[in-house]
Amino acid sequence: MATEVHQGQATAKGYEVGFRSVEREFPEPVGLPVEGSLPAWLSGSVVRSGPAKFEAGGRSVRHWFDGLALLDRFAISDGRVTYSSRMLQSGAYRAAAERGEISYQEFATDPCRSLFKRFVSAFSPRPTDNANVNVAPDGHNWVAMTETPMQVEFDPSTLETAGVRRYDDGMKVHHASAHPHHDAGRRELLSYATAYGPRSRYQLFRLPDGSRTRERYAGTSVGEPCYMHSFALTERHAILTDQPLTVNPLALLLSGRPFIENFGWKDGRGTRFLVFDRGDGRQVGTFEAEPFFVFHHVNAFERGGEIVIDACAYDDSGIVEALYMERLRAGEAPPTPRVRRYRINLASGRIEREAEFDPALELPRIDYRRRNGLDYRFVWGASARDAESSWFDQIAKLDVKTGESMTWREDGCHPGEPVLVRRPESDPESEDEGVILSVVLDARRESSFLVVLDAGTMEELARAEAPLRLPPGFHAQFGRAFV
C-alpha cells in the first residue's frame, strides 16, 4: 500500500534544465525566504558536493559524473536559513579555469590530447581530484570524495578548500569508494579500494578516528576487477558486491579511453557477494546471485546465521550509459532501480533473492547512526512514479518490514537525496522521529529550494528558496556542530 502527499500543477518543462552549469558562487551566506514553519529544534547545516560546471573552453564534459564540483551549504538556525557555495578548488577545476580546457581524465571524459600525450599519460596517469560525489567528516576536518584516491579537505563552515588529503601508509589505491562507513563504537572509518595490476586486488581497510594511517584488514586478488561504487557492512562482516561490469587492467593502462569506457558487461556471469570477517580478515565465502548492477547499498544486517543485504538494484549496467550528458539534456529518462533484498545463509552457502520493493528508489538513506549494519525498518530515497519514463520526481519512504510506502511530490519538481535529521531526545527505538531535508529542482521556474518534510508522515513543514537553480546532485551530510 502506498500513501502520497502531492501538491502543485502540471508542467511541460523537464528535468533537463538542471544540467546547465552554475555560473555564480555565494561565498558569503545569504538569507533565504522561508515558507512554512521550521521545527524549533532543527539547527545545523546540510553540506553537499555535486557536479555543477559542465563546460570548459566551449567543450562539455560527456557524463553527469564528470561535472566540476560545487560545495554548497544550507545553514538552519532559529527558524532561519542561509545559503552559501564555492567551487571546490581542485586541481581539475583550477586547470580548467586557467587553461580554458578539460585537463584531467574524468569518469567518462578524456582531455583533448595529442597521440603523443596520450601515450605519455598512459604511463604517468594523473587521477582527478574533482571530488563531486560525497562529503564526510574525517578526523578534525571534512573531506570531499570521488572514486579516485584524491580526497579534498575543506572547511564546512566557510566551504574553503584546504587541499588534497594525504595519508602516510603507502597504500596502493587506484579506484576507491566515496561511501565509507563510520563505526562510532569502534571509532573508525571503514572502506575499500581497488589496486589494478597484473593481479588486481580488492582491499578492505580501516582508518582510526584522527589517524592518517589506513590499516588493511582483508582483501582478495581478482583477475578482472569490477566497477564498485559502495559496499555493505554488518556488525561482524564486510560485503563487496562483485558485479559483472568488469575490466581488463591492461586496457586501463593502454586503451587511451576514459575510465568507465574500459569496462564491459559480462553476459552469463552473475553478481557475487564476497563476504569477509571484520575481525580476522578471513574471506568467509563467495555467494553468486543472478546478474544485476548496483550503485548504492541500503543496509545489511545479520539474522539467525544469515546475512540480509538490501541494495538499489538495476537489471544491468545500462544506467551508466543513460547518464551521459547528451542523453540527459535530450530528456531521455534513465532507468530506475528497485530495492532488492538478498539473504545469504553462511552455513549452507545458499543465497536467495527474498523480495523486491516498490516504488523505484535511489540515493537511499536510513537512520545510519543507529541502524547501520543492524536490522532496520525505514529507508528514504529519491524516487520515480513511472520507473520506465521519469527522472526522480518524488521522495519515497519505504517500510521494508511491511512493504508499504509513502511519497511526497510536486509536479515539475525533482528532489535530490533525502537527508534524515533525528529530533533530539527522540525515542532510540524509533527510526522516523525527525525531518527529511532535500534540495529540489523546480523545472517549471528553473529554480531550486530546500524542502523540509516530517520524516514520519512525509508532510511538508517548510521550504527555503535558493538564490539560483542547482543541478541535480549526489550526496549530502548534515552537521550540528556548525551553523
pLDDT at residue 118 greater than cutoff 60: no
| Domain-embedded: residue 152 | no
| Domain-embedded: residue 410 | yes
Task: Show the domain range for 27.
Answer: 2-38+161-479
The number of helices, as runs of H, and strands, as runs of E, in the chain is 6, 37
pLDDT at residue 7 greater than cutoff 50: no
Task: Give Cα separations from 173 to 51, 134, 232, 394 (angstroms).
Answer: 23, 18, 20, 37
pLDDT at residue 8 greater than cutoff 90: no
Q: Model pTM?
A: 0.93
pLDDT at residue 116 greater than cutoff 60: no
pLDDT tens, residue by residue, 354-390: 999 999 999 999 999 999 999 999 999 999 988 666 7
| Domain-embedded: residue 309 | yes
pLDDT tens, residue by residue, 246-263: 999 988 878 888 999 999
How many structural domains comprise the chain?
1
pLDDT at residue 155 greater than cutoff 60: yes
pLDDT tens, residue by residue, 267-316: 999 999 999 999 999 999 999 999 999 999 999 999 999 999 999 999 99
For residue 81, the model assigns a pLDDT of 98
pLDDT tens, residue by residue, 306-348: 999 999 999 999 999 999 999 999 988 899 999 999 999 999 9
pLDDT at residue 5 greater than cutoff 60: no
For residue 388, the model assigns a pLDDT of 64
- Residue by residue, DSSP assigns 28-63 as EEEE--EEE---TT--EEEEEEEEEE-EETTEE-SB
Identify the CA nearest to 16 among candidates 391, 439, 475, 395. Answer: 391
pLDDT at residue 122 greater than cutoff 60: no
| Domain-embedded: residue 223 | yes
pLDDT band at residue 114 under the 50/70/90 scheme? very low
Region 166-181 average pLDDT: 93
Q: In the predicted model, what is the mean pLDDT of the chain?
A: 91
| Domain-embedded: residue 100 | no
Q: Which CATH number belongs to the domain containing residue 454 in this structure? A: 2.120.10
Count the Cβ atoms, other than its own, within 10 Å of residue 352: 13
pLDDT tens, residue by residue, 444-478: 999 999 999 999 999 999 999 999 999 999 999 99
| Domain-embedded: residue 125 | no
pLDDT at residue 191 greater than cutoff 50: yes
Whole-angstrom distance, CA of residue 160 vs CA of residue 146: 18
Whole-angstrom distance, CA of residue 30 vs CA of residue 18: 22
Rg (CA), the chain: 21
| Domain-embedded: residue 129 | no
pLDDT at residue 443 greater than cutoff 50: yes
| Domain-embedded: residue 90 | no
pLDDT at residue 101 greater than cutoff 70: yes
For residue 139, the model assigns a pLDDT of 63
